Every structure is written in structure tokens, then in C-alpha cells.
Amino acid sequence: MLPELIINTDALSYNSQKVSELCHKNNVRLVAVTKVLCGNPKIAAIYLENGADVIGDSRIRNIIKMKESGIKGPFMLIRIPMFEEIPLVVKYVDVVLVSELDMVKEISKHAFNLRKKQKILYMVDVGDLREGVWYTKACQEIYQASKFPFVELYGIGTNLGCYGGVIPDEKRMNILVDIADQLEKKGIKVNVISGGNTSAIYLMEKDQLPPEINEYRIGEAIALGTDITNGRSFEFLRQDTFTLKSEVIELKVKPSVPEGKIGKDSMGRTPHFEDKGMRVKAIVALGEQDVASEGLIPMEDGVEILHASSDHMVLDVTECKRKIKIGDKMSFRLKYSALLRAMTSPYVEKNFNSDNGKV
Ligand SMILES: *Cc1c(COP(=O)(O)O)cnc(C)c1O
């Protein structure tokens, strides 16, 4: 059924191999992040078979789904949990990201019930303003966290480039290294410093990564071969990992500017129009329920995405070389936002394929 998302297993294997080679060359463990893939077990298996050391996901439900599908892990929960998730966290998760002492206390209590020590990765905010204890207060708070009886401080970590769009550099990374040093002086061993995500890969490429940083959590680069924060595609990775397909359901010549008084569109956006005269417009059976339209890239030259509402996507195909007809399929590449929506949308059928058309 359309819309269909075609997942290229060879391209994903390739990216996973290349990213893990780069990490391992730098003595960095690779946590391959599956949150943009709705925790798809088949893709997690590809990642683990191709060099990933750990699978990271932001949703406990995804981790449970992967485990129940036979994926061995180990698993890291990369969103700091809610209280109600703690019983599941201690049951299913190997390492959990945390940033609050009250949460660690609760985790310790539940871990005691299962007679285990729960590994925690304490997050430090070194400037991006998303999760983590602000770095000037980190040492004391993490010291306290490490003292709860049924938790084990697996390491410390940071996340950059997500909220503030802060680009990771050596200076931000060295803040983490300093905190680990201070903790070690107080007798707390910090085995793992989990420094980066996709936006920090360039530090490994340029040999600028402080050697103490020994773990990266990477999603986007493996899944898409891109790095939104730094606005680039990786030359050493493939970008043809996913293709979205749907069908043309209307094809008409219409003006480029609407007639009548213009308000907001169905998503509350104010549309803008450029008068290019009469144009050939195709409506494709795709919409915001399937995909984030601003994150789609048409695969054919001369095709422009004009607009999408919940279920209709309007394309300008005037300049397209192919003579498009009703019933034709149109294909698109996906940026991060589009992939996230397509993977999580129940309307989009997911199918696996390889370079030679077989799985
Ligand atoms: C999403 C996420 C990552 C992975 O980020 P990418 O940019 O996809 O590589 C790493 N760590 C945390 C905490 C995340 O939420």
C-alpha cells in the first residue's frame, strides 16, 4: 500500500560500518540511536551486525519492542525517564540517562527490588540548554548521585546541537573531561565520557577529539548520512538509505496564485505565493499525517513541493522532463524531520530492499 517507505538495508549496513570504523579508530564506543526509526528491530539488528556496540533509543516502548523481537542490545535509554517509567527502565534498560538526584534515588529503590545495580549516565549541560546539570554544578551533583546504593555510575555525558544548536568543539568536550577528572580526585571512577552525537563527528574526522571522550551516541549520520546542525552531508556515508513513494491523484493546469482573500492554511501557516502564471500541478496522496513535508526532497529534477495539508501534497511539475500522468509514482528522499514522521506514521508502509532489489 502507498505511501511506501523503502528502507535500503545495504545503505544502512554501509553507514553503520563506516561510522563504527571511525568511532573505533578513535577508541570511541558507538551507541547507534534508533529514535528516528521508531525503534525498528530490523534496523537495530543491521546496526548491531555492522559495528554498533549499543542501541540507544529515547522511548522505553521502543526498547521493549526491540527486546521482544529478539534484539539482544545492550540498550541505552537516551531520554531521561519519567517516574512512571522507572519499573520498566530497571527491568529492560542496561544504561539510563539521568539528570536529577530525585530520579536517581527512585531508580536505586526500584533496582533494589530487582536485586540489581542500575547503570546511569549522568548528563551535563555544557551550553546547549537541553538536558543535564549545568556544568559548574555538575561535580557535586554527580558525586551525590554515585552514592546511591543500587546505581552504578556508568559515566557522564552531554548532548549538543539539539536545542540551542550549539556546535560541539574541543572546548565544550574538555569541560566534560575536567568534570571526570574532578570526580576521580574525589574517588569516583568515571569509565565512560559520552561526548557526542552526529554534530560532533567532525571532531573525530579532524583528529580533534580529546582522547578521554570514549563514547558517541549517533542517530542521524547512520540513518541519513547527513548532519543538520552543521548543514552538510558526509562524503564517506550514503544518503540513499530511505525513499518515500506515493501516487499522483490529480494533475491539472492551474494558476500559481490562489483566487480570493488569503488567511492561514490548515496548519496555521501563512502561505506565500509567487506569480509564475499557469503551472502544471500534481496532487500526490501524501500529507502531514505521513511525513513532515518541509523535510521531503523530490528525487526528479524539475519537481517542486508547493504545499502539503493533512493528506494532499501539491507539486509543481511544470519543469519535469517526464510527462507525468495520473497514477504515476513520485519518489522523495527524506530529511530528519520527514523520516521521523514517516517512521512513526501508521499510514506509511515500511518495506525493506537492498541495492539489487532483494532483501
Ligand atoms: C537524539 C539523541 C542523540 C543522537 O543524535 P543524532 O543527532 O541523531 O546523532 C544522542 N543523544 C541523545 C541524548 C539524543 O537525544
Same domain, 121 and 14: yes
Q: Spell out which residues line ligand 1, taking CB within 6 angstroms.
A: 33, 35, 58, 78, 159, 197-198, 217-221
Domain extent for 308: 242-358
Same domain, 264 and 133: no
pLDDT number for residue 54: 98
Same domain, 92 and 211: yes
Same domain, 126 and 165: yes
Instruction: Tell me if residue 67 is catalytic.
Output: no
Same domain, 198 and 109: yes
Please choose from 15, 23, 35 the residue to mutate so as to test ligand 1's pocket, defined by most ligand atoms within 8 A of CB: 35
pTM: 0.94
Give residues with Cβ within 8 angstroms of 10, minimum separation 6: 354, 355
Q: Is residue 171 part of a domain?
A: yes
| Catalytic residue (one of 18, 35, 67, 281) | 35
Distance, in Å, from the CA atom of 176 to the CA atom of 174, rounded to the nearest integer, reads 5
Q: Is residue 230 part of a domain?
A: no
Beta-bridge partners for 254: 279
Q: How many CA atoms lie within 13 A of 159 on its CB side?
A: 20
CATH of the domain at 100: 3.20.20.10
| Nearest atom of ligand 1 to the alpha carbon of 219 | 8
Give residues with Cβ within 8 angstroms of 179, minimum separation 6: 124, 135, 138, 139, 142, 156
DSSP string of 243-297? EEEEEEEEEEEEESS-SS-----TTS---------EEEEEEES--TTT--GGGEE
Please choose from 22, 30, 33 the residue to mutate so as to test ligand 1's pocket, defined by most ligand atoms within 8 A of CB: 33
Burial letters for 78-102: b for 16+ Cβ neighbours within 10 Å, e otherwise? Answer: bebbeeebbebbbebbebbbbbbbe
pLDDT number for residue 356: 87
Per-residue pLDDT of the chain (359 residues; tens, 9 = 90+): 999 999 999 999 999 999 999 999 999 999 999 999 999 999 999 999 999 999 999 999 999 999 999 999 999 999 999 999 999 999 999 999 999 999 999 999 999 999 999 999 999 999 888 899 999 999 999 999 999 999 999 999 998 877 677 778 888 899 999 999 999 999 999 999 999 899 999 999 999 999 999 999 999 999 999 999 889 999 999 999 999 999 999 999 999 988 888 888 777 888 788 899 999 999 999 999 999 999 999 999 999 999 999 999 999 999 999 999 999 999 999 999 999 999 999 999 999 999 988 87
pLDDT number for residue 267: 76
Q: Is residue 340 part of a domain?
A: yes
Same domain, 184 and 277: no
Q: Is residue 236 part of a domain?
A: no
| Nearest atom of ligand 1 to the alpha carbon of 78 | 13
Strands (E), the chain: 4-8, 29-33, 54-57, 75-77, 95-98, 118-125, 133-134, 151-157, 192-196, 215-218, 226-227, 232-233, 242-255, 278-284, 296-298, 304-308, 313-316, 329-334, 349-353
pLDDT number for residue 249: 98
Q: Is residue 232 part of a domain?
A: no
CB-neighbour burial class of residue 182 (10 A; exposed 0-12, middle 13-18, buried 19+): middle
Tell me if the bond preceding 87 is cis, omega within 30° of 0: no
Give the total number of structural domains in the chain: 2
CATH of the domain at 345: 2.40.37
Same domain, 166 and 75: yes
Contact of 305 with 313, CB cutoff 8 Å:
yes
pLDDT number for residue 229: 86
Cα 212 to chain centroid distance, Å, stands at: 25
DSSP 8-state secondary structure symbol assigned to residue 303: -
C-alpha cell at 301: 529534477
Q: Is residue 70 part of a domain?
A: yes
Beta-bridge partners for 29: 215
